[in-house]
Amino acid sequence: MRPSVAGSLAIDVTGLSKSFGGKRVVDSFAISVPRGTIYGFLGPNGSGKTTTIRMLCGLLIPEAGGGTCLGFDLRHEQAAIKRRVGYMTQRFSLYEELSIKENLDFIARVYGVPQRKHAVSEALAGLGLSDRAGQLTGTLSGGWKQRLALAACLIHRPELLLLDEPTAGVDPKARREFWDHIHELAAQGLTVLVSTHYMDEAERCHRLAYIADGRLLAQGTAAEITRKSELSTWQVTGEGVAALAKELRGTRGVDMVVPFGAALHVSGVEQSALEAAIAPYRDRPGLEWRRIASGLEDAFIRLMQEAPSAAQ
């Protein structure tokens, strides 16, 4: 086993490409991920996020390009990479007729974890599962199943954790607790790749990559991606905003009109053109306008509009 090197790159790849059935689903992807980083992957359904992440982790072989993951060659040392990866799928995949402890013991056996009983006890305690160790998995709520799935991914002490839409279907409290734990793990040196559609989760990532039609369109921190979108945004509240949205859509200078609760976000990439477009509506009775900083969701929607449509 090669030792981990603090501060080194967990992933360093260039030119990754992959096709299925003659369709290019990942096209010349390149990325560098430092160890201990939580890296979020965003993009429309069918954009190639999961395929990209699976290639990065050695679970799929690229047809072009290459690089390293955890210091191992992506093309020729997949077995070594996979032994060091924890993979949490969107769909819960453990045995519901077994107890929590039995499931963890089974996964530990599969990985050949040394001192298995101690490892299972540590996994139970680490995710707050000790008091429920004997409970049948099928009786757990979504949040507790999520904890169990994460414990199973971590029991062999991976260096890289792959999370595919990990909090789909769980309540906000469970989501927050889950992310708190992910940040604790990253602080200990674990590298995390996560695909998500939740903007609040994306903002919890250290860095983000936006993928559409198999290509990397933007990457950086949430603040950097928002800034690079070059959007100017106004928020409007009051009576008749739904009708106002219909009027504004398609107006020259207005690139996006997006409802946010009882408000609208009206955005454009050219500030002067946007302000000229909304000027006739600024004095309309019952409406309150104010300029706001564009958010990650505004930038995300803008990138979706610019990206070629992808079939799921």
| Element housing 115 (H / E) | none
300 in any annotated domain: no
309 in any annotated domain: no
CATH code, domain carrying 117: 3.40.50.300
DSSP 262-307: TEEEEEESSHHHHHHHHGGGTT-TTEEEEEE---HHHHHHHHHHHS
Same domain, 217 and 265: no
Structural domain containing residue 150: 9-221
Same domain, 31 and 64: yes
Strand partners for 19: 24
pLDDT of res. 308? 58
Same domain, 111 and 259: no
Cα–Cα distances in angstroms (integers) from residue 219 to residues 112, 154, 196, 215, in the given order: 37, 27, 15, 11
106 in any annotated domain: yes
Same domain, 62 and 102: yes
Same domain, 287 and 238: yes
- CA R_g for the chain: 22
Instruction: Give CA–CA dist 251/302, Å, rounded.
Output: 16
Instruction: Give CA–CA dist 274/253, Å, rounded.
Output: 5
Same domain, 282 and 184: no
The pLDDT profile of the chain, 312 residues, written as one tens digit per residue, is: 344 444 489 999 999 999 998 899 999 999 999 999 999 998 888 888 889 988 988 889 999 999 999 999 999 999 999 999 999 887 788 999 999 999 999 999 999 999 999 999 999 998 899 999 999 999 998 889 989 999 999 999 999 999 988 887 778 888 888 899 999 999 999 999 999 888 888 999 999 999 988 899 899 999 999 998 889 999 999 988 999 999 999 899 999 999 988 999 999 999 999 999 999 999 999 999 999 999 998 898 888 777 655 433
Strand partners for 271: none
Instruction: Give CA–CA dist 32/307, Å, rounded.
Output: 23
Q: Could you give the number of structural domains in the chain?
A: 2
303 in any annotated domain: no
Cβ-based burial of 261 (10 A; exposed 0-12, middle 13-18, buried ≥19): exposed
CA angle 312, 211, 66 (to 5 degrees): 110
Same domain, 183 and 284: no
Domain end, chosen from 190, 221, 252, is at: 221
**Backbone φ and ψ of 33, nearest 5°:** -125, 115
Same domain, 277 and 202: no
63 in any annotated domain: yes
Domain end, chosen from 221, 243, 258, is at: 221
Among the residues of 98-240, which ranges form H helices?
A: 100-111, 116-126, 142-154, 172-187, 199-202, 222-228
Instruction: Give CA–CA dist 83/166, Å, rounded.
Output: 21
302 in any annotated domain: no
Token reading at 136: 């049948």
CATH code, domain carrying 272: 3.30.70.260
Token reading at 300: 């995300």
Same domain, 39 and 126: yes
DSSP code of residue 173: H
67 in any annotated domain: yes
Strand partners for 94: none
Same domain, 242 and 208: no
Same domain, 145 and 239: no
Same domain, 277 and 133: no
307 in any annotated domain: no
